[in-house]
Structure 1
């Protein structure tokens, strides 16, 4: 979030971000007011405009920053060498851990896309597609080397991400499964899918699904 001249400093900015995340997570974008946000931080509402121009800019910046952090962390975590299976395992482990560690950011990134104005939404959708392409590249590599037997790697990408990202809806830190356990379970499921250990992964989809996949590209 770019500071505007006259702002009171980075600590206030960070406090605004933390409070805004909690309010968005609890109440949603439509119900959250800037008056609430200012009260949570302990500043005058007018002081918020030292950091952003309106509520839409605040939401967009939160989601864009989350996506930038996600990309940077993934790039640092991915293997540069190794088999496609090893790279896919690293991707799954990263994605699961990141989503468990940042439930508020992840939830808002998915649930509040509908609240973004068209130009802002276009930016975020492009960033999401770049993330999808990184997983798709691993699946393409595995199909080229014969490690994976996916009939359609684009559909495989979407299916894997939908399964993994759903963790933000049900995972609880005090639940029966640790992060390591969830990573291991999901890794096994994703590798089984990619390797074609089941008819659905090996066979080409029927015609209606083939047309749907083409529209998703």
Structure 2
């Protein structure tokens, strides 16, 4: 069945998201390993993605772990450097779909304030036909409710939707709702999936 809309995750699909890589360049691999072992930074970031205020969350974390206050400041102040670079081929695929009149939605774990920062850097984040951003919805993937909210907001469900994400737990949650899915492991594989779905030609997917 040909999908009626295509749903993109953003982090590691349209924009690289590699905090560990960033911290390796800033504080060295050894200290980065100690930091991530001592503090659940990804869990703290999940609070932002679920709708809590970005600055407030990291200010609180710095007060709870004063020995890592400099690193928390780096995460907060240099956030856009972790969310980089754009994955150009994926952006081209998004635009190619829209050129053909195929609706493209975002479904992303993203904070309210961090999305504002990202949109200043990446103009294509304003181009989705419909945004489903976890911070605004108050729930993050892979909770079933976030997928329900997309279905309610778009009027589409099941096989009408083709979803790509780099995390298998998020993919499995979508597949459980009978969405068509693709585990993103690189833009060429995603291009091939869009071709096999009958949405783009090989030339359009370059």
Q: Which has the higher strand share?
A: 2
- Please give the range of the TM-score, normalised by the shorter of the 2 chains: 0.3 to 0.5
Greater relative contact order (Cα 8 A, min sep 6): structure 1 or 2? 2
Q: Which has the higher helix share?
A: 1
Provide the TM-score with structure 1 as the length reference: 0.37
Provide the TM-score with structure 2 as the length reference: 0.39
